Structure 1
Amino acid sequence: MPSQKLSLQQKLLQKLSPQQIQVIKLLEIPTIQLEQRIKKELEENPVLEMIDDGPIDQGDDSDSSDNESDEFSLEDYMDEDDVPSYKLNANNYSKDDKQVDIPYSSGTSFYESLTEQLGLTELSDQQKLLAEYIIGNIDEDGYLRRDLLSISDDLAFTLNMNVSEKELLEILEVIQDFDPAGVGAQTLQECLLLQIQRKKGTESSILASKILENSFDEFTKKHYDKIINKYGITEEQLKDALAEILKLNPKPGGSANNPHNRSNQVIIPDFTLDNVDGELILSLNQRNVPDLRMNSTYMDMLRGYSDNRKNASKSQKDAVQFVKQKLDSAKWFIDAIRQRQQTLLLTMSEIIDFQKEYFKEGDETRMRPMILKDIADRTGLDISTISRVSNSKYIQTHFGIYPLKYFFSEGMQKDTGEEVSTREIKKILQDCIDKEDKRKPLTDDKLAAILKEKSYPIARRTVAKYREQLGIPVARLRKEL
């Protein structure tokens, strides 16, 4: 029988404290969510309160030296009636500062608009219920990408409603008459047809409708010669018809993923950067982030317990234990907010310092290659912390509002040995394509040759990768008449 031995082992384990976990979670969220997070904490913790504009009762600190011998020290909490000023930068907003409204988008959402239009139809209550179900399946681009048979099956299983595809199609056709034109389409072809059919019956729009309905494949592949021969039209007539098609919106829902269409997004910058006589001044946006403190009533309760601890009943001790837990939680939360603001300011300050030449004018060609490790090394923070700060945060500059991730990019060496950002290369690519002859668009090989002439030794496949990242199609699909 094998012998059994007992042995001691030492292991070094790193565990995060509750406060560290709190800070990590707060770092990840942008300003707009921070406001909601603070409101939630205020609702859940009666010890925590906002500081109003009136005088703050500092309380009587005469007993603050009377410390408890058990798990907590009353002295730890005696000074917490003071303002825990986590507005840490002289450039941050105070209540007396002149406040300039930071622009952001708002308005009725895409789905709210469709529901409002549904209310104006003459459909029966049963049909409106089905229409609401169909609208719920329309994606952010405005398309119904699920087939009606699948929706019919869903209705049978979830709502015990036996609805045929024909009935659903009739309701879908009502929705397809809603604004924006093209909504509820199941394919790109149908989406464009729904839009062109609402236009006045001009010669160009009629031809455009025929092309979309009967020659969609040739149109998407830009086989213009085939279309000209098929309809016996001139190149000028085709050009006019294509101009009508190009006015149509392939994403009538205004996809929330499209950074150029923010009509349904709310973007509140976390930082504001001002250029004052060449000096870059960074501020945290704390317009809706209240100052917090611990409620003096609960501090008085602890003082009372401290003075009469020996005679306290069990219920009083339980109450004090509850207050102590809430005080700890409030203290952790206030400290976590403070640390969050410190970390945000430190990180953004180093990003600005690293990219100082870019931030002066917003010239992309002045942007240096910068990765998370660069900022981690400068701040002394972990790479994961820099990643959390950069995620979902925005900065308002004098040349626009940008996500923090925008300022990070890889680098490469030019023939001259100079290190440049890949963003600079993409800017050159974009400029070349913007200025190209659309009758003879530049192929990836030609773009690579142009870049090589400019001392950027980039392979054709790399050019293709950057072009795709810019959302630019291949040369064949960029061809125009």
Structure 2
Amino acid sequence: MLQVRLLEMPLTELEQSVAAELDDNPALETNSNEPNDTDNYDAANNNDEQGEEDFDQQTEREEREQALDAALENIGRDDEMPETYGRDNYNNADYEEIVYGDTTSFYDKLKEQVGEIDLNPQEEEVLLYIIGSLDSDGLLRKDLESIADELAIYHNLDVETADIEKMLNVLQTFDPAGIGARSLKECLLIQIERKPDSWAKEMMKRVMNECFDAFTKKHWNVIQTQLQLTDEQVADVQAEIRKLNPKPGASMGETQGRNLQQITPDFIVETDDDGKVSFYLSRGNIPRLTVSPSFADMVDHYKSNKANMTKGEKEALLYAKEKVEKAQGYIEAIKQRQHTLSVTMQAIIDIQRKFFVDGDEADLKPMILKDIADRTGLDISTISRVSNIKYAQTKWGTFPLRFFFTDAYTTGDGEELSTRKIKIALKELIDNEDKKKPLSDDLLKEELAKKGLPIARRTVAKYREQLGLPVARLRKG
């Protein structure tokens, strides 16, 4: 469970976990004399060759020894327990003032709001999964049945769609208004509902509920007739609707620093001029960890003198042994996290090497979680945890790991095409079309076929809608 928990953490959260564990377990120490190696989390059993300590090392050692002495003094007292310094002790002003830089992401800001409401563990996990499924606009493009399937496969959670919808309704109460909507109409209605009661609010609701088709086609003359509005009233309603935000997630990114360059990357990927791609794990502010020599020595001492132990000494042995084993387990879990992240990133690079060399998004191959699981021998659920809210810094920018995963479209001939590549080509065609004569979906289908992307017209329409691009008649300039 510890390995799973650490695996899910992004780098900044792991830094906090390590700091909390160091405070909680006096048998766990930092070892600044270890080489600067990202995989070096060895549990040392002695420190005889450490040499002279500098002031900081001496101070830290003395503090550890004091913590050990204080803890041992309390062992054996029926009415007292050794004091610990875990997460619960962080309710103080000094801790609240810790700032890890302006790295608050879109996901993090929503996660903060999750922490402000009372949910049971399963409800919280479902809500966080929904948040992780939002697109860059802050909208939920997946249907609830798909989310239910993914929760069952990747998180072993059997959740009814009604319960998922309940959590979605909770998300839709978050800021900014409109977040978590499943459509443009729902997004705008959520924002309208939060406005104070007024004539304009009622009219906007009627436009959305009674005239939405006309609204999407900008047929305000139809809306005016249907709602029996004057020219001045139509202008007022239009002005109020223009204040609404169809992309609440994008606006949240601007105000909360969602720029991916501000996010602390977990992987640093380097591509040299010869096309060789390599990477290393970013360790951030995580120190080297080792088992406290004083605790390890005490365990060895007591083990060799078992026959002559008093009751108090036996209790001290059990306490020290428990702390040493916990420290060793934590160090091992960190090492296992490093290994799992490394093999996963290497598999991603092996499949998407062309992108890392030239930076062309169209070169991303179809790749799903199972592809990486098959290459690494890891479970799909493990790959899902690794790819969640973690980032890779590349020559071409910093990307969430989910960016490298793309579905496949299978043509009638059985050829697999990257949906990402198709969407890029589709967007380029629409961006470069003659706005006086925009291309219909049928013409777009023909142009894509010329580019070696033979897809059905209904698929063109589906991908165009997913890109947020209107039909041809609404693109006419």
TM-score range, shorter chain: 0.5 to 0.7
Q: Which residue of 1 aligns with 2:176?
A: 141
User: CA-to-partner distance for each residue in 1:314-360, whole Å, 9 max, x for gaps?
Assistant: 11101211211111111111011011111111110121121111111
Which residue pairs with 1:390 in the alignment? 387
Q: For residues 77 and 306 of structure 1, what CA distance do their matches in structure 2 show? A: 18
- Taking the aligned partners of 2:22 and 2:206, their CA distance within structure 1 comes to 62
Which residue of structure 1 aligns with residue 21 of structure 2?
41
- Residue matched to 1:451: 448
Q: Is the 8 A contact 2:28 2:290 kept in 1?
A: yes
Please tell me the residue identity of whatever aligns with 2:245.
P
Tell me if the contact between 2:45 and 2:293 (Cα under 8 Å) persists in the aligned partners.
no
- Aligned position for 2:218: 222
In structure 1, the residue matched to 2:257 is 263
Distance 1:257 1:224 in 2: 27
Question: Residues of 1 paired with 2:49 and 2:460: CA distance?
Answer: 58
Aligned counterparts of 2:34 and 2:8: Cα–Cα separation in 1: 33
Cα shift at 1:472:
3.3
Structure 1 residues 374 and 338, CA gap change in structure 2 (3 angstroms): same
What are the Cα deviations for residues 236-267 of structure 1, in whole angstroms up to 9, with x where unaligned?
xx9xx99x999856169x53797787526873
Structure 1's 462 and 259: CA in aligned 2 closer, same or farther, altered over 3 A? farther
Give 1:28's match in structure 2, choosing from 2, 8, 12. Answer: 8
Among 351, 367, 371, the alignment partner of 1:370 is 367
Output the amino acid matched with 1:78: N
Higher helix proportion (structure 1 or 2):
2
Q: Secondary structure at the match of 2:249?
A: coil
Q: Which moved more, 1:296-305 or 1:465-474?
A: 465-474
**Aligned-residue offset at 1:143:** 6.1
CA shift for structure 1 position 80 = 8.8
CA separation of 1:43/1:81 partners in 2, compared to 1, >3 Å: closer, same or farther?
farther
* 1:250 equivalent in structure 2: 245
Q: What are the superposed Cα offsets for residues 444-469 of structure 1, whole Å, 9 maximum, x if unpaired? A: 34333332343433223322332333
Q: Residue type matched to 2:407 in 1?
A: E
Structure 1 Cα separation of the partners of residues 178 and 412 of structure 2? 47
Task: Give 1:42's aligned amino acid.
Answer: L
Structure 2 gaps, min length 5: 36-42, 51-99, 113-170, 181-187
Q: Deviations over 1:169-192 (max 9, x none)?
A: xxxxxxxxxxxxxxxx97656999
Percent identical among aligned pairs is: 41
In 2, distance between residues paired with 1:79 and 1:334?
Answer: 16
Distance 1:227 1:471, change over 3 A: closer
How far is the alpha carbon of 1:421 from its aligned partner?
Answer: 1.3
**Offset at 1:409?**
1.7
Cα distance in 2 for residues equivalent to 1:436 and 1:451: 13
- Deviation at 1:285? 1.2
Aligned counterparts, 1:321-360, within 5 A: 321-360=318-357
| Aligned position for 1:272 | 268
Give the AA of the match of 1:276.
D
SS in 2 for 1:289: coil
Report the TM-score, using the length of structure 2 for normalisation. 0.58
Residue among 40, 51, 61 paired with 2:31: 51
**What corresponds to 1:283 in structure 2?**
280
Q: Secondary structure at the match of 1:255?
A: helix
Question: Which residue in 2 is equivalent to 1:302?
Answer: 299
Q: Please state if 1:479 is matched with 2:459.
A: no
Q: How is 1:66-465 mapped onto 2 (pairs within 5 angstroms)?
A: 78=45, 104=103, 139-142=174-177, 188=191, 217=211, 218-223=214-219, 250=245, 254-255=248-249, 263=257, 267-277=263-273, 278-413=275-410, 419-438=416-435, 440-465=437-462
Q: Do 1:142 and 1:251's aligned partners in 2 also have CA atoms closer than 8 Å? A: no
Please say if residues 11 and 284 of structure 2, whose CA atoms lie closer than 8 Å, have aligned partners that are also in contact.
no
SS in 2 for 1:78: coil
Secondary structure of the residue that 1:316 maps to in structure 2? Answer: helix
CA-CA distance at 1:220 after TM superposition: 3.8
SS at match of 2:308: coil
Amino acid in structure 2 at the alignment position of 1:322? Y
Assess if the C-alpha contact under 8 Å between 2:172 and 2:190 holds in 1.
no
Structure-2 separation of matches of 1:396 and 1:102: 17
- Single out whichever of 382-391 and 354-363 deviates more from structure 2: 382-391
**Paired residues of 1:371 and 1:408 also in contact (CA < 8 A):** yes
Change (3 A) 1:80 1:221: farther
> Over alpha carbons, which structure has the higher Rg?
1
TM-score (norm 1): 0.58
Query: What is the rounded CA distance, in whole Å, between the counterparts of 1:304 and 1:232 in structure 2?
Result: 92
Residues 267, 280 of structure 2: 8 Å contact kept: yes
2:270 maps to a residue whose letter is D
The one-letter amino acid paired with 2:249 is S
Distance in 2 (CA, whole Å) between partners of 1:294 and 1:260 is: 44
2:119 aligns with none
CA distance in 2, matches of 1:330, 1:102: 29
> Alpha carbons of 1:80 and 1:38: their partners in 2 closer, same or farther (altered >3 Å)?
farther
Equivalent residue number for residue 146 of structure 2: none
Distance across 1 between alignment mates of 2:49 and 2:461? 59
Question: Mind listing any 5+ residue stretches in structure 1 that lack a counterpart?
Answer: 1-20, 56-75, 84-100, 113-135, 146-184, 198-210
Distance of 1:475 and 1:81 partners within structure 2: 76
